[in-house]
Structure 1
Amino acid sequence: MSLISKFATVGGATMVSRVFGFGREMLMASALGVGPVADAFNLAFRFPNLFRRLFAEGAFNAAFIPLFSRSLEEEGEAGARRFASEVYSTLFAILTVFTILAWIFMPFLVQTIIAPGLAFCVDEEGGAEAISCAARFDLTVSLSRIMFPYLACMSLMAMVSGILNSFRRFFAAAAAPTVLNFVLIGVIGYAIVAGYDKPSTGYLMSWGVLASGLLQLAIVVVAMRRAGFNVSLRMPKWTNGLKRLLILAGPAALIGGITQINLFVGQAIASFKPGAVSILQYADRPYQLPLGMVGVAIGVVLLPELARSLKAGRLAEAQHTQNRSLEFALFLTVPAAVALFIIPEPIIRVIYERGEFDPSSTPAVAAVLGLYALGLPAFVMMKVFQPGYFARENTRSPMIATMISAGANIVLSLVLFQIIAEQGIALATTIAGWLNAGLLFWGLYRKGLWEIDGQLMKRSALVLLSAGLMGLSLIAMMWELGDWLNPSDPVSTQIAAILVLVPVAMAIYFALSLLTGAADRRLVLGLVKRKRVKP
């Protein structure tokens, strides 16, 4: 299976999850709108979801896969099974204690980490949905307690996914997150039909999150057993392998989850303004679709490929893999960033504007989405650069880069939030992303671990040109279709306009890419011929 085929396998499964994520967010916006209950759910979910992204989307695997692969190669399957069982048992014990402590001290966590803004909340007469500050705090604490075990499920799932990825079984781990969206779509749909009020809907959604975590863990465990591998739960022991894993995993979790750390920090600061948390969350969903499809696929596939090449001494192959991965990332994310920056408002209006999500909320969410879009290529590029360090078991250098960018994000978010509210948080996240990507690349290039080839330079410039021309065509089409994109027009008319804008813009970009050479013509023709000869 080629590198592009592996990206497509993981990216395709992730795309399905993110598409259904759209459905989930659309229903949630319709049921809860932009208000205190939506804020409480998003704040409560963000903390366990932060750990899901830290672990499940490559960070834990960045530490685990190289060590597991080494055990498999040097000690055989029995040694790898022993190492995996040690890790699983220790992780299970730590997560159990951590969850119990979180339940006990959840009010303190909400007040200091999850939503510090609620501690300074002041009740307003006639405020949104007449929920007092104390009620908002209590609701956030209750929902956080319900959903917190989801963190343990996702962390254990991440380890099992690392085993599957080491055996080049990518699909189950990539497809499992879709369960969360299926469950929440069902739960929210039921709440709407049954006529639940907003707080009751929030509670029902929280139990749905927990149930989906248990189901996702079960899916990957079954897939691991079908692959002929198993782990056992035993008394945790401190071993050299476990010590090495923990040394690598801490920095790797921080490094790999910088996007989610930035979003988490942003939401914590946004909790000082009612409704801002929901605005950031709704804007994050369209932005996460291309980020998930491309970034997660590259992060999952590239690390094992690089690790194998480097351990075998195939340095030229490793360099080629890195350059083609960056080329692939830019080819897909630059046009997506351009499109999301130019047409955020029509996209948000079509996705969310119904039910409790009123038209007055659309411009605020669209403005945040446009600013997030500017950082999209940077966050995907980070997924390309990080494996260059992880495959060499170097987590110190990228950790320093991550801490610098995270610090910049916090400072910029605090300053810009005072000026332009939630838009300032989005802008700070984007700037921090580009800073991180730049530092990661410079570290590899300076140490001679990344050699830029001529093909990458040429195609990157042509991608920028093609995406720029596509952006101009989008602006022209929006001018022509202005009567169809009016906020007062029926939703069906606006959907029709989007269905014209997006496919035409995509066609223009891909046509320009083929004509200019931004895309590999031989690869495209090869894929077309392969499809034609299939029976």
Structure 2
Amino acid sequence: MIRKAFLTNSIGTLCSRVFGLVRDLCMASFLGAGILSDIFFVAFKFPNLCRRIFAEGAFVQSFLPNFIQARKKGAFSVLVFGIFFSIILFLSLFVWQFSGLVTKALANGFSQENIELAKPIVAINFWYLELIFVATFLSSLLQYKNCFWVSAYNTALLNVCMIIALFFVRDIEDMRAVYILSYGVLCGGVAQIALHFYPLFRLGYCRLFGVGVVEIWRALSQRGGTKTPRFRQILKDLRAFFSRFLPAVLGSSTAQIASFLDTVIASYLSAGAISYLYYANRIFQLPLALFAIAISTALFPTIAKAVKNTQHTQALALMKNAFWFLLLVLWVCVIGGVMLRDEITWLLFERNKFVREDTLAVGMAFGMYMLGLLPYGLARIFSLWLYAHNLQGKAAKISALSLLCGVGFSLMLMHPLGASGLALASSLGGVLYFALTLRIFGLKNFIPMLKNAKGWILLAIITGLEILILYIFKLYEHYLGILT
């Protein structure tokens, strides 16, 4: 089951990332790396951050354990959906009304003229947050039934809609291009929700929602209303979820929040810095999502159920296998990414409005991000243990400390190194995040995972072969003068 779920998530993620890559290629070609792309990336950054938090972190990791333990699953799910939907709707209306203040907060380094241009774009893109919450909530319910393909593939629909929108703007060189692309984001959100309808109906969740509404109605209609034992049990499950969700927002989304903070700080640098970080982070996110996020998503329901049933040995065995798989795969990606940072960027983006100067800047930032791939990826495995044991509070403290240190590194490195300094600061924060997560997980649990002689030998052989092959390739590339 784990292998099937991992393959489903990996293939779906790969499909989504391929479409995302095509989207970024079109964006680099049609928008380049200037003020238009900076405005869109600022506007899309916050809802995209929340998409990653909801879809890949806090919501799923807090909702599933509580949904598993809830006695009134229907009422619990209906109330969680209603509360979140209402809060996000209020926030979206607030952003729509006060878009200037929000834009100023997201890109304080922008000039007043650019803030005026970005205001309506920020308001439009923020509505995507409501749509992605609905999609993620429905995906979480499907994961309880071990149905992973919808959550794995639905992001591809967002990328497809954005690609279609980009082809409409390929000959437009003003703000109309950013407006059209923003409406493409909203169309993608609607398509993501629509993909869930059939599997929800097939697995009987329509009945669950109906039962939930009836349970709430019966509890409230009884004498005593909210003070009845039935409704107090529902509220108890709800309070337990929110007490874990808020810390989990910070605890499970360190890499995403660090990237978001990079964008805010980069607005103080020269034009194009935000775009450099965006393109570099997009390449960095491919192996992180394809392997680390995919395997952690597949593992989490099984580990949560094993912990609930006190099957700790089984949970640790699953985590050990996942640890060695990620260590080997992500290490290969780190070496390849650092050694071929400029070549990868050149191959993917350098065309039309994306020039050689942009390639070198993005390549340097990408190389710095790749230094943090291994700690961020491995930390996802060990954080599963924390969330399955409902230690979201400790995970939040770890994340807060690593983010605080990351911001300090960013402020120190932003002027001497520019955009690449912000990427390096993010990686340094990731190393600290991994170390602190491992400390809470416990050395007594971690040291047995390292006892794998075959694994270490294989790692050494792979490392030597990869460095040798890439070194020969670099010599051949230098002879041909590809990047000179």
Displacement of 1:400: 1.1
Amino acid at match of 1:264: F
Q: Does 1:14 align with 2:7?
A: no
Shift of 1:454: 5.2
Offset at 1:225? 2.2
Task: Return 97-106 or 28-37, whichever deviates more.
Answer: 97-106
* Correspondence 1:73-152 to 2 at 5 A: 75=71, 79-112=72-105, 114-118=106-110, 133-152=111-130
1:164 maps to a residue whose letter is L
For the residues of structure 2 that align with 1:150 and 1:403, how far apart are their CA atoms?
A: 26
In the aligned structure 2, how far is the partner of 1:23 from the partner of 1:289? 13
**Offset of 1:421 from its aligned partner?**
0.8
Distance 2:452 2:44 in 1: 39
Deviation at 1:444, TM superposition (A): 0.7
Q: How does 1:92-491 map to 2 (within 5 A)?
A: 92-112=85-105, 114-118=106-110, 133-192=111-170, 195-230=171-206, 231=209, 239-273=235-269, 274-446=271-443, 448=444, 450=446, 452-453=448-449, 455-456=451-452, 458-460=454-456, 462-487=458-483
Structure 1 residue 487: Cα displacement:
3.1
Change (3 A) 1:65 1:456: farther
Instruction: Please say if residues 334 and 464 of structure 1, whose CA atoms lie closer than 8 Å, have aligned partners that are also in contact.
Output: no
**Runs of 4+ in structure 1 over 6 Å off:** 233-238
Note the C-alpha offset of 1:418.
Answer: 1.8
> Aligned Cα RMSD in Å?
1.9
Identity of aligned residues (%): 27
Q: Distance in 1 between matches of 2:117 and 2:295?
A: 38
Please identify, of 265-274 and 307-316, the stretch whose mean Cα deviation from structure 2 is larger. Answer: 307-316
1:317-351 deviation line (CA, Å, top 9, x unaligned)? 11101111111111211101110100111111111
Residue matched to 1:516: none
How many residues are treated as equivalent by the alignment?
A: 463
Return the letter of the residue paired with 2:133: S
Structure 1 residues 311 and 160: CA distance shift in structure 2, 3 A: same
Deviation at residue 70 of structure 1 after TM alignment: 1.6
Distance 1:198 1:356 in 2: 14
Deviation string, structure 1 residues 279-303 (Cα, Å, up to 9, x no partner): 0011112111111101221221121
- State whether residues 62 and 245 of structure 2, in contact with CA within 8 Å, keep that contact through their aligned partners in structure 1: yes
Structure 1 residues 203 and 460, CA gap change in structure 2 (3 angstroms): farther
CA distance in 1, matches of 2:88, 2:109: 28
- Call closer, same or farther: CA 1:313–1:267 in 2, change over 3 Å: same
Superposed displacement of residue 172, structure 1: 0.5
Letter in 2 for 1:155: F
* Structure 1 residues 369 and 485: alpha-carbon distance in aligned structure 2, compared to 1, 3 A threshold: farther
Q: Do the aligned partners of 1:7 and 1:297 also contact (CA within 8 Å) in 2?
A: yes
Cα offsets for 1:423-476 (capped at 9, x unmatched): 110000001011101110111115x55452355465146325412431232012
Q: Secondary structure at the match of 2:57?
A: helix
- Kept in 1, the 8 Å contact 2:92–2:123? The answer is no
> Is contact 1:34-1:278 (8 Å) kept?
yes
Say if 1:220 and 1:352 are closer, same or farther in 2 by CA, change over 3 A.
same
Measured in 1, the distance between the counterparts of 2:239 and 2:49 equals 24
Q: Take 1:229 and 1:344, find their aligned partners in 2: how far apart are those partners?
A: 46
The one-letter amino acid of 1:431's match is: L
Q: Name the amino acid aligned to 1:95.
A: I
- Judge conservation of contact 1:57–1:299 (CA < 8 Å) in 2: no
Deviations 1:495-524 (A, max 9, x none): xxxxxxxxxxxxxxxxxxxxxxxxxxxxxx
CA distance in 2 between partners of 1:484 and 1:148 (Å): 47
- TM-score, normalization by structure 1: 0.83
Point out where structure 1 has 5 or more consecutive residues left out of the alignment: 119-132, 489-535
User: CA 1:104–1:190 in 2, change beyond 3 Å: closer, same or farther?
Assistant: same
Is the partner of 1:244 in helix, strand or coil?
helix
Which residue number in structure 2 is paired with residue 68 of structure 1?
67
Cα displacement string for residues 69-107 of structure 1 (whole angstroms, at most 9, x for unaligned residues): 123xxx4xxx32221111111111111111111222221
Q: Is the 8 A contact 1:91 1:156 kept in 2?
A: no
What's the TM-score once normalised by structure 2's chain length? Answer: 0.92
Decide whether aligned partners of structure 1 residues 318 and 30 sit closer, same or farther in structure 2, where only a CA change above 3 A counts: same
**Residue pair 2:41, 2:274 contacting (<8 A) in 1 also:** yes
Which deviates more, 402-411 or 3-12? 3-12
Amino acid of the residue matched to residue 108 of structure 2?
Answer: P
Q: Specify whether residues 49 and 464 from structure 1 end up closer, same or farther in structure 2 by C-alpha distance, changes over 3 A only.
A: farther
Q: Deviations over 1:89-139 (max 9, x none)?
A: 111111111111122222112212x11111xxxxxxxxxxxxxx3332122
Paired AA for residue 292 in structure 1: A
- 2:293 and 2:155 map into 1 onto residues whose CA distance is 12
Amino acid across the alignment from 2:263: Q
Unaligned runs of 5+ in 2: 218-225, 227-233
CA contact (8 A) 2:109 2:267 kept: yes
Letter in 2 for 1:185: I
CA contact (8 A) 1:368 1:422 kept: yes
* Corresponding letter in the other structure for 1:218: A
Tell me, in whole angstroms, the C-alpha distance in 2 between the residues paired with 1:256 and 1:301: 16
* Structure 2 Cα separation of the partners of residues 218 and 474 of structure 1: 44
* Amino acid in structure 1 at the alignment position of 2:142: L
Letter in 1 for 2:101: F
1:256-282 Cα distance to aligned partner (Å, 9 max, x none): 111110000001000112110000011
Are 1:319 and 1:451, in contact at CA under 8 Å, matched by a contact in 2?
no
**In 2, Cα distance between equivalents of 1:352 and 1:138:** 29
